[in-house]
Amino acid sequence: MAKKRMIVEAGPRARHDVPMRVPFGRHKKAKLADEATGRVVPCQILRGDLCFILDYVAAGEEKAYTVQTGRGSAARAPGVGALRKGNTVSFTVGGRPFTDYNFGKQWARPFFHPVIGPDRVQITRNYPIIERVPGETADHPHHKSLWVAHGDLNGVDNWSEGKKHGRQVSKRVKDVVDGPVAAMLRQDLEWVSTRGKKVLDEEREVRVWLSPPDQRILDLSITFRAKNGKVVFGDTKEGGLCSVRVATSMDGTRGGTLENAYGGIGEAEVWGQRAAWCDYCGPVNGKLVGIAIFDTPGNLRYPTYWHARDYGLMTANPFGISHFCPDSGQRGDYTLPANAVMTFRYRIYMHLGDVARGHVRDRFLDYVNPPKVRLDT
């Protein structure tokens, strides 16, 4: 059994409740303790990373931990749960329901629903998964809560559910893992035409993090592989590799607010613009809640363009440039060569209050510029 000292540097800003991933080699178990207090800190190892939640470090300060490998972490419960039942994986955070990932054959493509945000508030629309909910809109039946899609791959529409639409077919669920800090789902999918011809292979990874009651965090990784020849991602606004349809009461037409990283407000200032993140907040059952999508440096065309509407839609779409910038003379088509690989990563962050109260900017910086870590033997 080996013991190491781990130092976490806050950097120029205070850090609160930050999900941490530290490369940790081939170790399968670890025990983490706060050096100053001796308190055991919940941790786990996922795919070679030591995962834990950094509770607090002041700006410019450091925090020291002791790490013992070869020992399982204490303080497991309640943690983050992931339970598969048939073609659904249900996630819980701190013992409370968070979301269900649905990938049955009856659906054109997988989606998360319901999505229960902070303070037990459902943050996405029910329709069309549940129809005729009083007060809800009933448009765009392909807008299923929280999902991944694109409207033109080698001419196949894998966005809408109109005539001759494509599908995303689950081929294998490779991992469903829960733990004291995070839960993980890994799945292989095929994007196919209406006749079932394969266009594209995808590996999808979902991580749900332990978080306090005023926030929820879901990380989404999408890796495309062009195994059957080149794939052209067509220039269309009808798409979003990370897409959300918010609860109807949050719509911009009903008192909700779209806001991007540059301070753009509403569809007129957000739609078709590039930004590192975009947030949708609004009232649900008397509470003000929000959901943000964070783009990731390294993603194609970062910062991405946004297909975001006042009627409740928000999607990260790096391909629809001719629609977003019609006077530029540019097109957004992108060709993934045969046998090539391309990965997109996003963080979905849910919060109480508006962008300021939810500290969206700081949470984005925690994601793209996490605290630095050094390990001393």
As assigned by CATH, the class of the 80-368 domain is mainly beta
Phi/psi-derived region of residue 181, left when phi > 0, alpha when psi is between -120 and 50, beta in every other case: alpha
Distances (CA, A) of 215 to 51, 91, 147, 173, 343: 18, 15, 20, 27, 26
Q: How does residue 342 score in pLDDT terms, banded at 50, 70 and 90? A: very high
Q: How does residue 375 score in pLDDT terms, banded at 50, 70 and 90? A: confident
Cα torsion 168, 172, 177, 182 to 10°: value is: -30
pLDDT for the residue 376: 83
Proportion of the chain in helix, strand, coil states, percent, rounded to 5: 5, 50, 40
Give pTM, 2 decimals.
0.97
State percent of the chain over pLDDT 90. Answer: 93
Question: What are the domain boundaries of the chain?
Answer: 3-76, 80-368
346 pairs with which residues across the strands? Answer: 220
pLDDT for the residue 24: 86
State percent of the chain over pLDDT 70. Answer: 98
As assigned by CATH, the class of the 3-76 domain is mainly beta
Q: Give me the sheet containing 182-192, strands edge to edge.
A: 167-177, 182-192, 198-209, 215-225, 341-352, 287-294, 277-284, 257-260
pLDDT tens digits for 229-280? 999 999 999 999 999 999 999 999 999 999 999 999 999 999 999 999 999 9
pLDDT tens digits for 7-34? 999 999 999 999 999 998 777 889 999 9
Give the dihedral sign, CA 326/328/329/330: negative
* Alpha-carbon gap, residue 117 to 208, rounded angstroms: 12
Identify whether the C-beta of residue 363 lies closer than 8 Å to the C-beta of residue 355: no
Q: How does residue 69 score in pLDDT terms, banded at 50, 70 and 90? A: confident
| Mean pLDDT rounded to a whole number for the chain | 96
Nearest to 152 by CA among 321, 278, 311, 346: 321
pLDDT for the residue 77: 57
Cα-trace Rg, the chain:
21
